Amino acid sequence: MYDDPSTMGKTEANYQPLTPLRFLERSATTFPGHPAYQYGGSVTVSYLQLYDRTRQLASALSQLGVGYGSTVSVMLNNTPQMLESHYGVPMTGGVLHSINTRLDAPTIAYMLEHCEASIVMVDTEFSDVMSAAIDLLVANGAPAPTVIDVVDDVAAADSGVPLIGSRTGSMEYEALVATGEASYEWVGNIKDEWQAISLNYTSGTTGRPKGVVYHHRGAYLLAMGNVVDATIGKHPKYLWTLPMFHCNGWCFPWSISIEAGTHVCLRKTEAEAIFRELSQRGVTHLCGAPVVMSMLINAPDEVKPPLPLANPVDFLTAAAPPPAPVLAAMETMGFLVTHVSAVYL
């Protein structure tokens, strides 16, 4: 007789933990030269380059002591560094904590203390509020985390200022990445698919923020579910209008790698920039709350490209269903709107 079914399954030899980090490894192997992300007028990074950079980031963080049980907090816009953090931080075995960029210092201080962040990566735009938060943290007797400045040279050049905000950290992000090795071996750091990959806190609700932990298994499954549910085909071009700090951008930082798509990073979710990216880059998908639809509909005519858009763009929205006039206006502009709600598979 063949062995009892109850013993046919999980073994040390055949167990490969589900983790969305594998998606990047696969696209870097299968489509190494395909653009993984684009940003501003000049930045294009291929899948192989992204895989190398994220392994470098993981290697550099691990040299700073980050690993299983560690938390790295980030307060970033939808820039390439935020995308890279979604891979590089969990590759260490540690947990990515994304901070809503609209929060105030006391709330941030509470989170940093609660999650015992050892490293904080902060866009220089938010250095002041982060400094205030760390001051509160230290005043409360907690150790100060190491601060890494994320300097957005691309946006600084666009806006004509040498530096947005101010530098307060001990090291700059690119310098940190440069200390890491692309040969870093991360696979062994994910021993169990139920291991935490990210930590997000509630905000805007009553009382203290409450932490929500994603495990690698859940992030893998939701990332796959997004591709299936949104019918995302090969090589999508995804515009980052939904904040990655919000529920890890619904897991799209990982979903897009499944199909070797191109992330179009976007520092600010503003109508003019969105329309520019849509018309110039051939974007195929974006996500956003209903308020983003209203922003697009009500944008001044001079920032709108000729409508309808040349190619249909899938717009995924969630929360309360949008009113019929909003849907109609979106369709007139050339968007295919899909409203998603909680579904379990």
Nearest to 112 by CA among 102, 93, 98: 98
For a second copy, which residue of 32, 116, 167, 246 counts as binding (CB under 8 A)? 116
Our finding on whether 192 is near a second copy (CB under 8 A) is yes
Our finding on whether 233 is near a second copy (CB under 8 A) is yes
For a second copy, which residue of 140, 166, 170, 231 counts as binding (CB under 8 A)? 231
The Cα 253–Cα 213 span in angstroms is: 17
Our finding on whether 213 is near a second copy (CB under 8 A) is yes
Our finding on whether 344 is near a second copy (CB under 8 A) is yes
Q: What distance lies between CA 155 and its chain's CA centroid?
A: 18
CB of 55 to a second copy, least distance (A): 19
The Cα 12–Cα 2 span in angstroms is: 20
Our finding on whether 6 is near a second copy (CB under 8 A) is yes
- Hey, is 107 helix, strand or coil? helix
> How many chain residues interact with a second copy (CB under 8 A)?
41
Beta carbon nearer to a second copy, 279 or 338: 338
DSSP letter at 41 equals T
Our finding on whether 65 is near a second copy (CB under 8 A) is no
Q: In this chain, which stretch among 181-189, 231-239, 246-254, 306-314 interacts with a second copy, using CB under 8 A?
A: 231-239
Binding residues for a second copy restricted to 268-327, rule: CB under 8 A:
none
The Cα 275–Cα 297 span in angstroms is: 11
Our finding on whether 166 is near a second copy (CB under 8 A) is no
DSSP character string of 231-275: T--SS-EEE--S-TTSHHHHTHHHHHHHTT-EEE-BSS--HHHHH
Residue 282 vs residues 182, 183, 277: alpha-carbon distances, Å? 31, 34, 8
Give the residue ranges of DSSP H helices in 64-104: 80-91
The Cα 319–Cα 215 span in angstroms is: 23
Our finding on whether 143 is near a second copy (CB under 8 A) is no
Q: In this chain, which stretch among 101-109, 170-178, 194-202, 269-277 interacts with a second copy, using CB under 8 A?
A: 194-202
> Residue 85 has which token pair?
């953090």
The Cα 287–Cα 255 span in angstroms is: 13
- Hey, is 5 helix, strand or coil? helix
For a second copy, which residue of 99, 115, 147, 265 counts as binding (CB under 8 A)? 115
For a second copy, which residue of 194, 312, 328, 336 counts as binding (CB under 8 A)? 194
For a second copy, which residue of 120, 148, 227, 293 counts as binding (CB under 8 A)? 227
Our finding on whether 2 is near a second copy (CB under 8 A) is yes
| Residues in contact with a second copy by the rule CB under 8 A | 1-2, 4-6, 8-10, 16, 18, 22-23, 26, 68-69, 95, 114-116, 192-196, 199, 211, 213, 215, 217, 221, 224, 227-228, 231, 233-234, 258-259, 343-345
